[in-house]
Structure 1
């Protein structure tokens, strides 16, 4: 389903503690199952350590997932982007 068809897409860029990237990706996948959102999470190289794509059927689920991601102790900083149509 496209963004304009009742789906919300967000991207979360994370800076993690050194060496915690893969652990964070697994925790994010667990959060996705708990919240009921689709997630793609990748370890990336550059300014950020983990890049996450979240797809949900409403903004409330995006908010819950992002809030839970931001509470992972190994994450030091995040930037969240909500996609436009």
Structure 2
């Protein structure tokens, strides 16, 4: 496995963990309002309640996306280079 592939796998795995953790926190209602993660629309930023409702609804999609990305990342070195 070459160095570039290792770097790509590490970066993608890190991204997958961030997206998955965002989903888990959102589903649990523990994702704090912020400028980086979650559903950040003008409507969701109007109140903490709107933020929680929107992110609880989107949480499963975030979690599924993180798991899918993680599976693809694990498969990347198995299928060979580019």
Give the TM-score of the pair, scaled to structure 2. Answer: 0.29
Rg larger for: 2
Give the structure with the higher percent strand. 1
Give the structure with the higher percent helix. 2
Give the TM-score of the pair, scaled to structure 1. Answer: 0.28
